[in-house]
Amino acid sequence: MSSFEDRIVLITGSGQGIGKAIALELAGRGATIVTNDIAEGRAEAALEEVRAAGGDGLAITADVSNAEQVEGMVKTVIDTYGQIDVLVNNAGTTRDSLIIRMDEEEYDFILRVNLKSAWLCSKAVIRPMMRKRYGRIVNMSSASGRMGQIGQTNYSTSKAGMIGLTKALAREVGSRGITVNAVAPGFIRTALTEQMDQAILEELTKYIPLGRQGEVQDVANAVAFLASDEASYITGQVLSVDGGLVMG
């Protein structure tokens, strides 16, 4: 198991679900964790779980789709710890609807929360990573961004965009010792999947070769690998964690 001793890890949207699982996993490997969430008190609650598990860190409530708040968050981390070694762009949400019913605000909102936030956070941490000539950025894409999904023209677009962001940024910063990769979860048991029509979810599960939904820990394990020194020669890649739903 790779160690994250002396690593400062910022995970957006880590107040619950996959983000919190990543925080707990990396804290268990020795990382100092910065939890973040837009909901008041959620980042703090997640940090308390990190501390209860023997870790430590900082909790910051911020809207990561807002440039000013992102800059303030990163400044707080740098002022506190002097560095950011790992950024996990995990913040995201859904507003599903068929395109004939989806309004422009629903489209723009998802692009802003899911994709622009990752661009803003990456931009904010790049300079301190470049100065250190070390960094790991892991972006949360989705199987929906690789194969598309009915009722998710906004969400699928945002997650496909995360793949483009990952590849472009990996080319920009690779010479500075910074790797940029993406994880593309499939159907993972989270609050978001619980909001889906369960009959549809059961039908979709039939197309998963492993025959089941994934767990948040499956995604956390993948992120931990890409954020580790063991993945130092991997960049610009998309790691699917979907039970074989998307191949190729």
- Write out the catalytic residue numbers: 155
| 3 class by beta-carbon count within 10 Å (0-12 exposed, 13-18 middle, 19+ buried) | exposed
- Residues in CB range of 104: below 8 A, 6 or more apart: none
CB atoms under 10 Å from CB of 30, counted, come to: 15
DSSP-derived 3-state class of residue 182: strand
Bridge pairing between strands 8-11 and 135-140: unpaired
- Residue among 9, 53, 54, 1 nearest 31 (CA): 9
Q: Are 91 and 60 in contact (CB under 8 A)?
A: no
CB atoms under 10 Å from CB of 171, counted, come to: 12
| DSSP states of 63-116 | -TTSHHHHHHHHHHHHHHHS---EEEE---------TTT--HHHHHHHIIIIII
Residue 26's H or E segment, with its range, is helix 17-28
